[in-house]
Structure 1
């Protein structure tokens, strides 16, 4: 475990969505290529997929579905952002998804400042996105929040400060969030390079080792499972 991973693991009481929902009301959601139950589900249709999420939560008496780190998915085949037939397909998810209804408050994971933000409005993309910069115990790193509402970035300023646990944004609906069922894509980034308002959340198999090293498992910080 590298120094950043040790630091993330040591931090307690971190929430990135509505903190009134305890973790015992979270359930895992498998969207991997090996999940055969998805074969008959139109996961590329945001309305059908949202209905599936809501049924899954209701059937399990839960409020949040989570998962996806280092998960190979078919979810991105519909989008040229990930599958342009010229380069290697990107289908390895390198963030953690939290599936819950649009409008849900999104919270700053830790004290930080706004590094950048953008409306990434391609089909299958993040939609409104915020990246925070954190400096903690001689470590500089970043957290990315994707699939937000447009209102979340309407008045935002670079350098604005947010305290841990305070509302940063709210979740968007399929009309603005890249055409997905509402959810938060949460990702930790060590070296962000020249990226602004965007950073890959899905990688190719050949790049998997690099991105998993540069983007540690968000559950080290969130401790959901």
Structure 2
């Protein structure tokens, strides 16, 4: 299946009202959020501080009269410059381009499986600025196998999990973690689609360098093809 065919396949699945949060939340309650380096408002915000960035995001949601902020696919962000895990000071190889879709909402918010699948792997990715507790689901739908990744979860989300454990569409999968466990971010879900997991387990790059971007754009298409926010 080509990358374009995979995108069309995901878009068709997305017509089925897929959700990672409570499906009773109206789509009008989701407001777009720009955390890219081109957002001039962020020049006066200390994005390295989870608390300060969280205050900015909550204010943005209130101004837009929403309940949840979302966005970030292929955004070039300055927030990763705080962490040696992403930043090697080389503009070609430093990782600053976000590959998932972020959903910003308070810690302990339940996260639901948008599609039926099984647990491929999970782990607590504890590098500074990393995912923290992470779950990867494997999906096999219409003879197509692919994966979805859920990052920045609570520790409790992975404590009693089993490899191969099935989850039905709409079943509670996890809860969100706070800054103490989620890589030091304001609470949010990192949701990412992965076509080829490349032998990763419990982890997969969620931020790309400029050099590797073309590969990741093909392998990790826009998660909003499924969620259609």
TM-score over 0.5 (shorter chain): yes
Aligned pairs for 1:35-50 (under 5 A) are: 35-50=39-54
The alignment's TM-score, normalised by the length of structure 1, stands at 0.97
* Aligned-pair Cα RMSD in Å: 1.2
2:38 corresponds in structure 1 to 34
> 8 Å contact 1:113–1:161 — kept in the other structure?
yes
1:119 corresponds in structure 2 to 124
1:76 corresponds in structure 2 to 80
2:11 corresponds in structure 1 to 9
Deviations 1:150-204 (A, max 9, x none): 0000000000000111110000000000000000000000000110000000000
Would you say how many aligned residue pairs link Structure 1 and Structure 2?
A: 224
Secondary structure, in 3 states, of the residue corresponding to 2:133?
Answer: strand
TM-fit CA distance, 1:18: 2.3
TM-fit CA distance, 1:77: 0.2
TM-fit CA distance, 1:210: 0.3
TM-fit CA distance, 1:126: 0.2
Aligned pairs for 1:186-205 (under 5 A) are: 186-205=191-210
Moved more, 41-50 or 81-90: 81-90
Deviations 1:75-104 (A, max 9, x none): 100011101347821001010000011011
TM-fit CA distance, 1:2: 2.3
Verify: 1:142 aligned to 2:147, yes or no: yes
> 8 Å contact 1:106–1:168 — kept in the other structure?
yes
The alignment's TM-score, normalised by the length of structure 2, stands at 0.95
- For residue 102 of structure 1, the aligned residue among 107, 115, 118 is 107
Structure 2 gap segments, 5+ residues each: none
2:57 corresponds in structure 1 to 53
CA–CA separation in structure 1 for the residues paired with 2:154 and 2:81: 24
CA–CA separation in structure 1 for the residues paired with 2:23 and 2:59: 22
TM-fit CA distance, 1:3: 2.5
Secondary structure, in 3 states, of the residue corresponding to 1:15?
Answer: coil
